[in-house]
Amino acid sequence: MALDPDKYGTLDKLNQLTESHGELRFGTGMITGVIALSLAILCFLGVLAFHFPAYLTTPELRKSYSVDTLRTVMLVAMVLSGGMSLALIILGRARWLASAAFLLVALTALLGGHKVPVNDFADNTPYIGLDWFILDLLGSTLIFIFIEKLFQHRKQAVFRPEWQTDFHHFIVNHLLVGFILLIVNKLVHGGFSWAINDSLQTWIRALPFWAELLLIILVADLFQYWTHRAYHEVPVLWRLHAIHHSAKSMDWLAGSRQHVLELILTRTLVLAPIFVLGFSKEVIDAYIIIVGFQAVFNHANVSVRLGPLSYIIVTPNFHHWHHSQDKEALDRNYSAHFAFLDYLFGTAVKADRKWPEQYGVLGDYVPNGFLKQQAFPFTWDATATPPPPPPDVSSSKT
């Protein structure tokens, strides 16, 4: 990312920064400046969440974190952002970027910072998941960018091409978490309550924790597998799923690229059996952590191979093949957790090399940009674009 320090004003350069991609060069102050600005933005959003918790925080998430801990995290982030931006200003490096970060930290402090009091508030108001966005973005960047640099598969910038589109998906998917959960819960409870068997639920909850956890992952992955396979084999569903496959680069952010309707449909079909079978809350909480980590990790730009275990557990290598447009990878590797399901059903990739060559949709007919991709399933003329060739069914038979 190379920006002309003299040609544009601060706002123009910030806009140019968000529209560009590429490596941030060492010694220019850009890396420190981007970190400082990112922390400043999260702090500003955090202070807004403190002021309006009834409308900007997630009720389910509020029960899981300590407000005092979040205050401490915000204070540390404000100090780090303010300190880094002030140092850049003194050193004369990326002053425009540092000034923006420092002003945002100052505004956050003027609004009360980490000391904003949180009084009693209504618990049943409409809301957007701003707290979920802040915490997940902070945690994901700290964990997965570090892992990607440590076990990097392909040399790739953090701000690689089309990162903006995936980030827009990330933002919307998090902010709409309340709306999505509301719809999914209504669909699951309204459509599948008839299938509940009290005796079966009692038996499942009596299982040891580890056995119940393995069972919930297996059940979820079985339904995930066939739902995922349907997205590829049913043309009207592929219209939705093609958006997820349009990412041409794989990293921790790429998995966020999903149509909102696909997100709702998939969660409904995967959560329905979990609801019907009545798994215990502790097991569901553990499953949510596992699926949340694996969903991001399997898209990450990392080279982690587990030897024989890779035939059992889905790894980034396994899922990267699923996102490939290489001929032998089309419509393969559907599993989300247990790779053996693809070997069992004859849909595992068979290739003579370890990694795929290209990612994305074969034919590259999905437009870039969040809004264009949300409209794509309803505007795409499939007759005008040659569809990807069907899988070689004979090669998948075992």
Q: What is the pLDDT of residues 156-170, one digit of tens each?
A: 999 999 999 999 999
Query: What pLDDT is recorded for position 396?
Result: 36
* Pair (279, 391) in one structural domain: yes
One domain for residues 240 and 324:
yes
Q: Is the pLDDT of residue 391 over 70?
A: no
Half-sphere exposure of 307 (CA within 13 A, CB side): 0
25 within a domain of the structure (yes/no): yes
In a domain, 383, yes or no: yes
Tell me, what's the pLDDT at 383?
Answer: 77
Higher pLDDT, 392 or 374: 374
Number of domains in the chain: 2
Residues 88 and 98: beta-carbon distance below 8 Å: yes
Task: Provide the domain limits for residue 323.
Answer: 177-396
Same domain as 211, residue 112: no
Which pLDDT score, from 0 to 100, does residue 11 have?
Answer: 85
Asked if residue 201 and residue 68 are part of one domain, the reply reads no
Residue 37 has pLDDT above 60, yes or no: yes
At 398, the pLDDT band (50, 70, 90 cuts) reads very low
User: What confidence tens digit (pLDDT) does each residue in 165-220 have?
Assistant: 999 999 999 999 889 999 999 999 999 999 999 999 999 999 999 999 999 999 99
Amino acid 386: pLDDT: 52
Indicate if the pLDDT at residue 361 is higher than 50. Answer: yes
Contacts of 352 (CB under 8 A, 6+ apart): none
Q: Are 123 and 186 in the same domain?
A: no
203 and 122 in a common domain: no
Q: Is residue 164 part of a domain?
A: no
Does residue 105 lie within any of the structural domains? yes
Indicate if 102 and 244 belong to the same structural domain: no
Backbone phi, psi, residue 28, to 5°: -100, -10
Question: Is the pLDDT score of 392 beyond 90?
Answer: no
Task: State the pLDDT confidence band at 9, using cuts at 50, 70 and 90.
Answer: confident
Q: Residue 96: how many CA atoms within 13 Å on its side-chain side?
A: 16
Position 257 scores a pLDDT of 98
Q: What are phi and psi of 313, to 5 degrees?
A: -110, 140
Average pLDDT over the chain reads 92
Cβ-proximal residues to 363 (8 Å cutoff; 6+ apart), any chain: 385, 386, 387, 388
Q: Is residue 352 a part of any domain in this protein?
A: yes
pLDDT value at residue 63:
86
Q: Are residues 85 and 182 in the same domain?
A: no
Q: Please state the rounded mean pLDDT for residues 56-72.
A: 92
117 and 203 fall within a common domain: no
Mean pLDDT is lowest, of 12-26, 33-47, 269-283, 318-332, for 12-26
Per-residue confidence (pLDDT) for residue 209, from 0 to 100: 98
Q: Are residues 198 and 100 in the same domain?
A: no
The DSSP code for 330 is T
Question: Does 145 reside within a domain?
Answer: no
pLDDT of 393 > 90? The answer is no
Where a domain ends, among 127, 156, 190?
Answer: 127
Q: Is residue 134 part of a domain?
A: no
pLDDT tier, 4 (very low <50, low <70, confident <90, very high otherwise): low
Is the sign of the CA dihedral 38, 36, 43, 134 positive or negative?
A: positive
pLDDT of residue 122: 82
Confidence of residue 395 (pLDDT cuts 50, 70, 90): very low
